[in-house]
Amino acid sequence: MIDKRFKIANKIFKSRLIVGTGKYKSFSECAKAIKTSGADIVTVAVRRVNISNKNKARLMDYIDPNKITYLPNTAGCFTAEDAIRTLRLAREIGGWKLVKLEVLGDKKNLFPEMIETLRSTELLTKEGFKVMVYCNDDPLMAKRLENAGAVAIMPLAAPIGSGLGIQNKVNIKIIRKQTKLPLIIDAGIGQASDASIAMELGCDGVLINTAIAKAKNPSQMAEAMKLAVISGRKSYLSGRINPNLFGSASTTNKGII
Amino acid sequence: MNIKNKIKITVNGKQMQIIPKFTLKSLITKLKMPLNKIAIELNKKIIDKNRISKIRLKKGDKIEIVHFIGGG
């Protein structure tokens, strides 16, 4: 079965794996992991420049925004106003319109604040941004985000950075059934099998940061995630067998001695 | 220039002293910031980077200079 292209806001991307650039030991380790991951989109954050250390290395010196799509996020934002301010600044740095909206509601569990997230989606869409939205795994809220103009629905698998894997497969499947928008699992992936499961549920992509950045060998884990996403996607497209409570012999009894 | 004539501004949360009529462009040059990798806010308004040589800084101005860092 030939796969359809992975398209977000009318732009085609080669890889269904999106990689975060936070939490790495160094920029060079981050750049190496991104290379082995095969990702062509990376998430980035907007923060103050360190004015007292002018020679400090910059992310853009290691990861070329002309070769890889920077997806600016709104990490650390707790209101729609914060998120909009951050993304306007991101747009000013490089003219990016494709953005990842992430409005959090609680510093401990890092769950998305969905009322503010919905409001931000509406406002940013009106401003011409193409908004990929980090959200909870609630199908009703996913629908509202879609109606508000989101270009991708990105439900969490589990809390950000938790590595717990997909906690509510049923909701992810329901969201898959109801939306034609790109559905991308964002947050909570712990290991390669989690990424495969996400793809087997019918997701269009997976966004991973901590599971790669904090692995003992980030570059190798990045490759594992790449293969897991490809594998899970192929498995999904191939049409799995129906699960059966009882056994079914692989060898015929015909000709048995 | 006498130090008494200097005016105070805030850049990324830190106080700085500059001479009057110092432009935003002079500030960016002084801080050695690569213009194509940053965005600038002056008193919470985003500044068009093509216009920074025309903007003269005033006492109490709050400037934010941001760039991209690693994030998820």
In A, which residues are within 8 Å of B65 by CB distance? 48-49, 51
Could you give the domains of chain A?
6-238 (3.20.20.70)
Q: Which of A14, A23, A56, A100 is catalytic?
A: A100
Identify whether the C-beta of residue A34 lies closer than 8 Å to the C-beta of residue A69: no
Question: Which residues of chain B are within 8 Å of residue A45 when distances are taken between CB atoms?
Answer: 68-72
Q: Do A20 and B70 touch (CB under 8 A)?
A: yes
Q: Is A90 in contact with B39 (Cβ distance < 8 A)?
A: yes
pLDDT tens digits, B27-62: 999 999 999 999 999 999 999 999 999 999 999 999
How far A66 CA sits from the closest chain B CA (Å)? Answer: 12
Q: What is the mean pLDDT of residues A230-254?
A: 95
The token pair at A235 is 């498995």
B56 is in which domain, residue-wise? Answer: 3-66
A32 sits in the region (left: phi over 0; alpha: psi -120 to 50; else beta) called alpha
Tokens of B20: 């009057």
Q: Rounded to an integer, what distance in angstroms lies between the CA atom of residue A211 and that of residue A41?
A: 17
Phi and psi torsions of A16, nearest 5°: -90, 5
Pick B31's closest partner by Cβ from A51, A58, A207.
A51
Instruction: Clarify whether A126 is annotated catalytic.
Output: no
Task: Reduce the DSSP state of residue B38 to 3 states and report it.
Answer: coil
On the question of pLDDT at B2 being above 80, the answer is no
Separation CA A4–CA A92 (nearest Å): 33
| B12-35: pLDDT as tens digits | 999 999 998 899 999 999 999 999
Tokens of residue A178, six digits: 């109801």
Chain B residues closer than 8 Å to A22 by CB: 69-72
Q: Rounding to the nearest 10 degrees, give the CA dihedral for residues B26, B32, B36, B38.
A: -90
CB contact under 8 A, B46 and A89: yes
Inter-chain residue contact A49 with B72, CB threshold 8 Å: no
Chain A residues within an 8 Å CB radius of B72: 20-23, 43, 45, 73, 75, 160-161, 187, 207, 209-210
In sequence order, the β-bridge partners of residue A43 are: A20, A71
Q: How far off is chain A from B33, nearest CA to CA, in Å?
A: 7
At residue A1, the pLDDT reads: 66
pLDDT bracket for residue A236 (50, 70, 90): very high
Give alpha helix (H) positions in chain A.
27-37, 59-62, 80-94, 114-126, 139-147, 169-178, 192-200, 210-213, 218-238
Question: Is residue B72 one of the residues assigned to a domain?
Answer: no
A171, A240, A227: which is closest to A203 by C-alpha?
A: A171
| Rounded-to-integer distance, Cα A89 and Cα A96, Å | 10
> To which H or E segment does residue A179 belong?
none
Q: Does residue A110 register a pLDDT over 60?
A: yes
pLDDT tens readout for residues A22-77: 999 999 999 999 999 999 999 999 999 998 887 788 999 999 999 999 999 999 99
CATH of the domain at B39: 3.10.20.30
Among chain B residues, the shortest Cα distance to A134 is held by B72
Selecting from B13, B14, B41 the residue whose C-beta is nearest the C-beta of A89 gives B41
pLDDT range class, residue B71, cuts 50, 70, 90: very high
Running DSSP on this structure, what letter comes out for residue A51?
S
Please enumerate in sequence order all residues whose Cβ is within 8 A of that of A231, keeping only pairs 6 or more positions apart, or say none: A196, A199
B66 in contact with chain A, both atoms CB, cutoff 8 A: yes
> Tokens in use for B14?
């830190």
Judge: B39–A24 Cβ closer than 8 Å, yes or no. Answer: no
Residue B37 placed within a domain = yes
Question: Could you tell me if A157 and A194 are in contact, meaning their C-beta atoms sit under 8 angstroms apart?
Answer: yes
8 Å CB contact of B14 and A51:
yes
Encode pLDDT of A111-141 as tens digits.
Answer: 999 999 999 999 999 999 999 999 999 999 9
What is the arithmetic mean of pLDDT over B59-70? 96
Residues of A in contact with B66 (CB under 8 A): 46-49, 89, 93
Q: Please state the domain count of chain B.
A: 1
Q: Which residue of A has its CA nearest to B27?
A: A51
Q: Would the pLDDT of A257 be above 70?
A: yes
Considering the domain boundaries, does residue B38 fall inside one?
yes
Q: How many CB atoms lie within 10 A of CB B31?
A: 17
- Residue-wise pLDDT for A172-203, tens only, equals 999 999 999 999 999 999 999 999 999 999 99
Record: contact B70-A22, CB cut-off 8 A = yes
